[in-house]
Amino acid sequence: MRSAVAIGIATLVCLGCISSVAAAAAPYDAHTLIVKYAAGTTPAQRSLAGRLAGVLQTVGSVRGVGARVVRVAGDPAVAAARLNRSRAVLYAEPNYIARATGVPNDAGFGQLYGLDNSGQGGGLPDADIDAPEGWSALFGATSFPSAGGAKIGIVDTGVLARHEDLAGKVVNCAGVRSFGIDVLGIITLPLFADPTIVAGRCADDNGHGTHVAGTAGAIANNGRGVAGVAFNSPLAICKALDRSGAGAVAGIANCIAYLAANGAKVISMSLGTTADSATLRNAVAAVSSRALVLAAAGNDGTAAANYPAFYPDVISVAATDNRDQRAPFSTFNADVEVAAPGVNILSTWNNGAYNSISGTSMATPHAAGVAAVIAGRHPTGGPLLWATKLGAAVDDLPPAGRDPQTGLGRVNLKRAATG
Ligand SMILES: [Ca+2]
Ligand SMILES: [Ca+2]
Ligand SMILES: [Ca+2]
């Protein structure tokens, strides 16, 4: 699948920019060139032409073209010119490097319609956050740095920090001391629950938190799994939700404070309650000058308020599908600020593999990743500026203007990277 994706992209790039590639001194691979020998030439003639030009060995072929990729000593452009002087050679040319795609090689990338929608699975092309375009604008088309982004804090069920697509990403790990008394690993009695935050307690016994972490920050271009929206952002994880995915407001509030104290610029909360809690409201307000807080709009499919998303200091994130429609389960009300893909999202899971699930929980880390890119570009701007820029880094979806379904619109990483 990876090679098929790469071939398709290279074709698109060439169709769009043949003249500019030919005019400029395009970069090429330093050790190989592409040669097609003339029909009817003998192996001895080919070998002689190759030896005279410094060809060391054949390393591959370009199927369908009938050309070979060969390793050469010295500058491939010089070697190609020498080969082109031989009658045994139909043509030889440097192995040019195509750019302007920004598509990483992660095995599951083709399934991430939320990042780049080509109509796969019956989706609407470009019903996505334009992640490759955004990454190209940020890092250049072929660079996928593993560090340097703004820190993202996540309150959830924890994380499988040693997952192959998250290894090294988690720089802060903590959680509530106790969810209560565990009974035979089946249920948790809330007796003696202790919301004190303890370092090192972020192991994910549910999967939800690992999934959210992957959407926000999974390693890109490692040939494995998925790619996070803000793959160069370090992650701060605080576990306030238990094995069943539930957690008390006291622990959530403590986690918010912990993440802000540890330098998270963006705090992502894929959780909610219909209860308006003064503790939760105050916890968010207390960090609002340091971190931009985002939360899931809710999965009730109604206009009912869901907290903390509904608080004025929190960006409420609704969920869209692969056709840029609001997901049926996604809460809709006047407080929804932005929307993001949240239906059938593939991401990392706590068993070390990958899983596809749906929810405004999945939309939230998409938006948090976009927010982290904004915070990274404007490090001294502060949460108010980041919120304003996030609200501008969207594609407005029908009806025109802000609406209860998708708020200001579905987030767009390219706009965040260039706006
Ligand atoms: Ca797109
Ligand atoms: Ca990956
Ligand atoms: Ca709209």
Structural domain count, the chain: 3
How many Cβ atoms sit within 10 Å of the Cβ of residue 274?
11
Residues 250 and 391 in one domain: yes
The CATH number assigned to the domain holding 270 equals 3.40.50.200
Query: Of the bound ligands, which one is closest to the alpha carbon of residue 118?
Result: 1
Residues 121 and 55 in one domain: no
Residues acting as catalytic residues: 156, 208, 361
Question: Would the pTM of this model clear 0.75, i.e. be above it?
Answer: yes
Query: Of the bound ligands, which one is closest to the alpha carbon of residue 322?
Result: 1
Residues 70 and 136 in one domain: no
Q: Is residue 164 part of a domain?
A: yes
Residues 61 and 126 in one domain: no
Residues 15 and 47 in one domain: no
**Residue 345 pLDDT grade (very low, low, confident, very high; cuts 50, 70, 90):** very high
Query: Of the bound ligands, which one is closest to the alpha carbon of residue 127?
Result: 1
As a whole number of angstroms, the distance between CA 88 and CA 50 comes to 9
Residues 266 and 120 in one domain: yes
Q: How many Å lie between the centroid of ligand 1 and the Cα of residue 277?
A: 39
Q: pLDDT tens digits, residue range 248-307?
A: 899 999 999 999 999 999 999 999 988 899 999 999 999 999 999 999 999 989 999 999
Which long-range contacts (C-beta less than 8 Å, at least 24 apart) are formed by 241-245? 241/155, 241/156, 241/157, 241/158, 241/206, 241/208, 241/209, 241/271, 242/157, 242/179, 242/188, 242/205, 242/206, 243/157, 243/179, 243/188, 243/205, 243/206, 244/188, 244/206, 245/157, 245/206, 245/208
The CATH number assigned to the domain holding 36 equals 3.30.70.80
Task: State residue 26's pLDDT score.
Answer: 59
Q: How many Å lie between the centroid of ligand 2 and the Cα of residue 345?
A: 14
Task: State residue 189's pLDDT score.
Answer: 74
Q: Do 368 and 374 contact (CB within 8 A), yes or no?
A: no
Cα separations (Å) of 41 from 68, 122, 381?
Answer: 15, 49, 66
Q: How many Å lie between the centroid of ligand 3 and the Cα of residue 335?
A: 13
Residues 40 and 115 in one domain: no
Residues 291 and 147 in one domain: yes
Q: pLDDT tens digits, residue range 41-62?
A: 999 999 999 989 999 988 787 7
Task: State residue 184's pLDDT score.
Answer: 75
Residues 167 and 307 in one domain: yes
1 or 148, higher pLDDT? 148
Lowest mean pLDDT among 69-78, 287-296, 385-394: 69-78
Cα separations (Å) of 157 from 128, 175, 181, 242?
Answer: 27, 9, 17, 6
Q: Is residue 104 part of a domain?
A: no
Q: Phi and psi of 244, rounded to 5°?
A: -90, -5
Residue ranges with CB less than 5 Å from ion ligand 1: 126, 128, 130
As a whole number of angstroms, the distance between CA 214 and CA 160 comes to 10
Report, as an integer, the average pLDDT of 233-243: 95
Q: How many Å lie between the centroid of ligand 2 and the Cα of residue 164?
A: 8
| Tokens at 64, concatenated | 């369908």
